[in-house]
Structure 1
Amino acid sequence: MLKLVFTDLDGTFVDTQKQVPERNARVLDLAAECGVQFVPCTGRNANGVLTDLANHPAVRYAICCNGALVVDLREDRVLRSAPMSNEQVLELYDRVRDLRVSFDVFINGKVYLERSRWEIPHEASGGDKATEKFFYSLRTPYDCSLEELLQRGPATKVTMLHPGNVDAPAVRAAAESVKGVEWTWSLPMNTEVANAEASKGAALTWLCGHLGVDVADAIAFGDGDNDLSMIRAAGDGVAMANAIPEVLAAADHVTSSCDEAGVAAYLEPILSAMA
């Protein structure tokens, strides 16, 4: 019986205009009535989870920073953390410092970008105003050294935006040269680096165990490379119609696109039968 729904946000639960389709919003209400919990799974920090979603009765837990954090949203408490070491962050920075990329460091719920690279998200957005607004809404500029920044707390993730994808191969090669980290991507113009023990799939498995739920009773929805691990880990992995080929191939089922409220389209008959 379905007990947990794990869903990616951008390109999955959220449409291409960064909005939650009304049909998806309604399916949250149906899930709450059936006692099914929704778990947002995102590359964002916990404070990047949409307010209406975070405050919904069906939502208590979130997987953030691509699995580096599992958070209890109601108690504002981190349940599981798998951060990068300072040495890994500094080594990665040294390997990409001369490339035209951002170097966004996720620390204590904030995303820090050095001021000298502040224009890069604008360039990476490619003129898409919704994407540019989204990029800057999450970032805070800093002027100190990276070493000083890391004194504020452990980095759960590093994201690098590479305008035009010119530097993407070099960025990913740099990430592969740092021991104990892995890279993934959620948008064509970015590379996301985290502790090798952090993935959405690992976090899904951990949270199921923490809550005493069999993974067979979990559904996961996703569209991007950073969703692959949880699509494979869940009892039912569901790809969006707009998913990348690798996710489509790994999924147990395929639903309609994020712009067609594919999450709701898949869940409505399941939840209606439970109501």
Structure 2
Amino acid sequence: MKIKCVVFDVDGTLVTVGSRLLLESTIASIYELQEKGIKVAVATGRPFFAMERSIKEKVKFDYYICSNGVFVYDNANQKDLFKYEIPADVVMDYTKLCEETGGAAMFQFDEAGHVYVGYPQLISMLSDTLGRIEYFFKHPQQERHQYSPPTAIISKIPTAHMQRFRETFPQFQFVPFMHEFYDVFPKEISKFSGIERICQELNLTTDQVMTFGDALNDVEMIEKAGIGIAMGNALPEVMDRADHITENCEHDGIYKALLHYKLIEPNPYV
């Protein structure tokens, strides 16, 4: 099946964790895909507002799958394809449980992340992983959701209380990305469900999609896409399900994998 769409994770795939810079080999490879009529998309755990400006400016991606699939955006046509909304009562129940257990919760809204509880814990982590915190705000009033609903949660959950969270919120999946830190979003939503929405829009099958990733939230899209590529720095669970393992991003892993599958031509400058 001919590949018609290539989907990239961001942190640990397009860029190293905490970095804002794309390699020139990666930029050139993505533009070559687009010149050949292949659509390119981002699938990330980051909310849309936290996508680095430097990445958005360097590459005009056709689609964005953000916050692990809760928001899917058609960048070429400037329209939302999908957006999940967390009900107000769930927001407050989740906040209360975090307060009772020493946890932390940041709710992701269209314009920013608002931390309802546990600000110091979350901001320290976000600074380390994203390298910037200007879009994340302390919000002790706990009322931002009254104006428009959030789409997802980033949460710190003490290990001793993890089971209580799972039992209280059975509709959510809790995907770890650091010790005691989780992306929290509905069980039926994932990066791959975002890919399926893009395929519906483009009249493609998922066999016509190639995916790149490195972390636990990439496993499903690596396994279910037509071709799944694990980065050289990927977790073992990702590598085990990949069709191909490339080098890490700082060693031109994206360029080398696309070249391996003959989706691009050799670049004499790499």
TM tier relative to shorter chain: 0.7 to 0.9
- Describe how 1:102-117 pairs up with structure 2 within 5 A: 102-114=104-116, 117=118
8 Å Cα contact 1:84/1:181 also seen in 2: no
8 Å Cα contact 2:86/2:150 also seen in 1: yes
CA displacement 1:130-169 (0-9 Å, x = unmatched): 53733x2331222312xx221121221100146xxxx245
Give me the identity figure in percent.
22
| Matched residue, 2:86 | 84
- Describe how 1:248-263 pairs up with structure 2 within 5 A: 248-263=239-254
Cα separation, 1, equivalents of 2:163 and 2:252: 32
User: Structure 1 stretches (4+) deviating beyond 6 angstroms?
Assistant: none
3-state SS of paired residue (2:91): helix
| Matched residue, 1:137 | 134
Cα distance change, pair 173–38 in 1 and its aligned pair in 2 (3 A): farther
Cα distance change, pair 56–72 in 1 and its aligned pair in 2 (3 A): farther
CA displacement 1:25-61 (0-9 Å, x = unmatched): 2212211221112101111222322334434665121
| Matched residue, 1:95 | 97
3-state SS of paired residue (2:188): coil
| Matched residue, 2:120 | 119
3-state SS of paired residue (1:94): helix
State the AA in 1 paired with 2:104.
S
State the AA in 2 paired with 1:253.
H
In the TM superposition, what is the alpha-carbon distance from 1:76 to its structure 2 partner? 3.6
Cα distance change, pair 266–169 in 1 and its aligned pair in 2 (3 A): farther
In the TM superposition, what is the alpha-carbon distance from 1:207 to its structure 2 partner? 1.1
Q: Which has the higher helix share?
A: 1
Equivalent of residue 179 in structure 1, options 159, 170, 174:
170
In the TM superposition, what is the alpha-carbon distance from 1:89 to its structure 2 partner? 2.7
Cα distance change, pair 261–93 in 1 and its aligned pair in 2 (3 A): farther
| Matched residue, 1:195 | 186
How does the TM-score come out when normalised to structure 2?
0.86
How does the TM-score come out when normalised to structure 1?
0.85
Aligned pair count? Answer: 264
In the TM superposition, what is the alpha-carbon distance from 1:266 to its structure 2 partner? 0.5
8 Å Cα contact 2:33/2:263 also seen in 1: yes
| Matched residue, 2:154 | 159
In the TM superposition, what is the alpha-carbon distance from 1:245 to its structure 2 partner? 1.6
2:248 is equivalent to residue 272 of structure 1:
no
Cα distance change, pair 168–268 in 1 and its aligned pair in 2 (3 A): farther
2:37 is equivalent to residue 27 of structure 1:
no
Cα separation, 2, equivalents of 1:57 and 1:11: 17
3-state SS of paired residue (2:28): helix
3-state SS of paired residue (1:256): coil
Unpaired runs of 5+ residues, structure 1, are: none
Cα separation, 1, equivalents of 2:94 and 2:70: 17
Unpaired runs of 5+ residues, structure 2, are: none
Moved more, 65-74 or 187-196: 187-196
| Matched residue, 2:204 | 213
Cα separation, 1, equivalents of 2:110 and 2:130: 23
